[in-house]
Structure formats: C-alpha cells, structure tokens
Structure 1
C-alpha cells in the first residue's frame, strides 16, 4: 500500500492519499474542526484527485473523512477573515474542486460516517456512489450564512431528491439523518459503522473488477442524460450575498442568531 500525506498547516490538518489493490483512497483529516476544508485544502484536494489518474492501476477513487465526520464543508471561520471578493474567489476554487471530483474518469465513492454539511454535502453528491453509516448526517444550511446556491450547486441536489426537497433543505436548514437520507436516495448503501470500512473496500474492489470501458461509458452517458441545461454555472452567479454573508458568518463565529434584513 502506498501512502502519501499532504500537510497543509501547522495544526493537525492533512489530506492522506493511499493506493491499494486498484483503489485510490483520499482521507480528509482535520478532526478538531470536523474536517472542515480551508481554501488551500480545497486546492490540495483537487490536485490529489487528479494525481490519482497518474497510476493506471487505479480503477476506483474512495473519498472519506477521518473519525466520525465526512466534512463540515468549508471553514466558516476562515471566511470571517476574508473580504467579499476573497470569499467569492474561495467559493469558485471550491466549486472547481467539486467539479474535478465529479468529472474524474474513474468511479468515485464517498464514505460518510458523520456530518456531510454544506459544501461537504456537495462534495459527497459529486461522487458516483455514497455509503453511509448510522452516524451519517446530510444537510446544506446555507440560509443561515447568506450563501447563494447557484444552479450547479442546486442541480446536484435536484437530481437526487427533486426540486421541492431541495428547497426544503435550504428554507429550513434541516438535516437528514442516515435512514432518511437513504430513503431519499442520497445514500446508496446504509451499513453499520463497524462494517463501514470493510464494506467500502469490498464495494470498491467489486466496481474495480468491472470493465473500465463500461464504467466510463455509463458515467458519461448518465451525465449526458441529466445535463439537460447546457449553460450551468460559468462564474456569473455570485456564491455569496454582499450583505447577508458577512452577517451570517459573524453570527456563526459569535455563536448567535443572524439578523438578516429583507431585500427590497
């Protein structure tokens, strides 16, 4: 087994890359902040995902978080130190990474053993398959932060759960527990936590045993079937509201309820 670790800060934040038996395994590790990703970590994740293609023996990519989290998404406290322009650029980099995972010419499997929230949920949805334990929690509480979902973000949810449930997610900020997420089709498999690693490796090896040509063909064909809107996000729709986003982020950091004002 090959193991590479990319350390990103002095704190315990790293992305671990492993290769074994035709599987490339990426683990997000930042346990003290629920595996939340900084802007730099998003860039590193995209780089490592692309590097998985360098080894022709890799047939499947498995993406997971360490411990009892997938990822809480982007680091909100980092946003509190950014200007609106810097935050917007950070979201563009984040979306580029999620799209990189989504468009890899390999089957991708997300392993979710805890919260997958916000951009973390989008990252999980960008994978072809999702395995969750009973500790999986899925949500996208952007309404609490003044983050504006563009059509590409929204489409990943709509494709799985439909337009009404997508709006319900944002309108209420609620979280799906594992069983509810499984019934809604957001999780392909629901397995006990104690079996999660073994099951994900077994599933990865099963997928890796299939014809690479067949797997890539169905991945591309399915994408063509569901991409009925050709002009999804091209950078014109902002990710953050210039008024609500700073208030939402400050409220998060200060651990209080945000005071938003209605748009005229």
Structure 2
C-alpha cells in the first residue's frame, strides 16, 4: 500500500511509505493520478493530502536507480510533472497538511495545493536543480518570488516557509486550522467554486510542463541523478527551536 484514502464530503489522502520518507515511486505517482482522475468526477468539497509527522514527502524515489536509463527517468519525472498539472487544475479545493519535511517533488506536490498548513516541524527544500530538472520552479516563483525560486535548494523551516509563501498557514493544531478553512469554503456557493479556484491559481501549468520536458531530455540525466543520489538521501529535518502560534501569511 502506498497511500490510503478516506472518502466523504472531504477526501483525506495519506501517503503511506514511511520507511522511504514517502518518496514518489512510480507506483505512488500512478495511484495519485488515478485518485485525482476519480476526484475530478466525484467532486468532493475538498481534497486533503497528508504525509506523517516526520516526512510529508521526499522527491523522486531513488530505489533501483542503477537500472534506470535517461529515458525511464525522464518518463518518471514527466509523470510527476503531469501529476502536478492535474492537481493544479482539479476543480475542487486542495489542501496539504505538512507536518514534516517536504523535499523535491514532494515539496512540489504540497506547493501545487491551494492551501498549505504547516506545523513547526515543517520544512521545504527543492534540490532538483542539482541534477538539472526544472520541476516546480515556475510555481515556486508564482507562490513566492523569483529570489526564492533561484535559491530553492536551501532548506526553509516553518517560519521562513510561511514568510516566503511556501506555507499559507502555520498552526500548533493543524486539524483546527483545517476545520476553519473548510468552514469558510462551505460558505462559497458551489456554482462559483471552480471559477474562483481557476482565477486564484492563475498559473501556466502547460509552460511549466514544457520547461520540465526540455530539462529532462538533456542527455546524461541518469548520470546526473546518480551523482546527486551519492550525496543526497532523504532525511528528517530538525527544526530550529520555536513556539509557533496559529497564524497566516500576509499577502
């Protein structure tokens, strides 16, 4: 099992690969594709995506990397890119609950959600530039700034992530914050929700996917990922001492 799903008015999706830091394996990515396809038809009020208290999600699963080729790795990264595009176009509110480390494609997965609730243990890092993949950069710049996008390989802890727009909410009790967001969302007329989301997102996902495709088709992708993997392994982030209170980023 790579994820669990609880259906209802709000769909609760939990990534279930704790020993792999919830890294995005091909199987997990394809399960998420099927889930989003189903959600687009079922139209719940919202979809909530979670990891665990240590890891929200790591990036590309590096297991069996030696058996990969440039082509197979490019395909895997493009499937992640189309997953992010599908999430950004989903006609319902999407919320990520980030209690631990969000890294690489896992951080991009959180960033593709409309709301991102973090605890004091939350952190974000986007190391894909280390092996030449332009994944999520445009979305990061849109949510934060070009400066943050260009320095994305540095880990950002909860308070800084809130300030930079990676989190939209920082809370001691993420469940209470989630409940408040859902109460507010229920006050929006159902007929207006899809249009409101489309205007709020205002992001060119097709252009981002094209940039990703150009970056992963540069020859030598496998060797670059192998070199990256030799120095980077998923690990939990140790947050600096903090006593957070529930608050929201000011736009």
Q: Return the offset for 1:54.
A: 4.0
Determine whether 1:211 maps to 2:189: yes
Give 1 or 2 for the bigger CA radius of gyration.
1
Greater RCO (CA < 8 Å, at least 6 residues apart): 2
Q: 1:120 aligns with which of 94, 106, 109?
A: 106
Cα separation, partners in 2 of 1:65 and 1:179, compared to 1, 3 Å: same
Which residue number corresponds to residue 132 of structure 2? 147
Q: Which sections of structure 1, spanning at least 5 residues, go unmatched?
A: 1-6, 8-13, 257-264
Residue range with higher mean Cα deviation, 156-165 or 126-135: 156-165
Cα separation, partners in 2 of 1:231 and 1:189, compared to 1, 3 Å: closer
- Confirm or deny: 8 A CA contact 1:60 1:208 kept in the other structure: no
What is the CA–CA distance in structure 1 between the aligned matches of 2:35 and 2:184, rounded to whole Å?
23
Which residue number corresponds to residue 177 of structure 1? 157
Pairwise mapping of residues 112-261 of structure 1 onto structure 2 (< 5 A)?
112-144=98-130, 146-149=131-134, 153-169=136-152, 173-192=153-172, 195-224=173-202, 226-227=203-204, 231-234=207-210, 236-239=213-216, 241-243=218-220, 245-250=222-227, 252-253=229-230
What is the CA–CA distance in structure 1 between the aligned matches of 2:231 and 2:162, rounded to whole Å?
34
Q: Return the offset for 1:115.
A: 0.8
- SS of the counterpart of 1:200? helix
Q: Return the offset for 1:140.
A: 0.4
- Confirm or deny: 8 A CA contact 1:15 1:27 kept in the other structure: yes
Q: Could you say what the CA RMSD is over the residues aligned between the two structures, in angstroms?
A: 2.4
Q: Return the offset for 1:199.
A: 2.8
Cα separation, partners in 2 of 1:230 and 1:196, compared to 1, 3 Å: closer
Q: Compute the TM-score of the two structures, normalised by the length of structure 1.
A: 0.79
Pairwise mapping of residues 14-33 of structure 1 onto structure 2 (< 5 A)?
14-20=2-8, 22-33=9-20
Aligned length: 232
- Confirm or deny: 8 A CA contact 2:148 2:164 kept in the other structure: no
Q: Compute the TM-score of the two structures, normalised by the length of structure 2.
A: 0.83
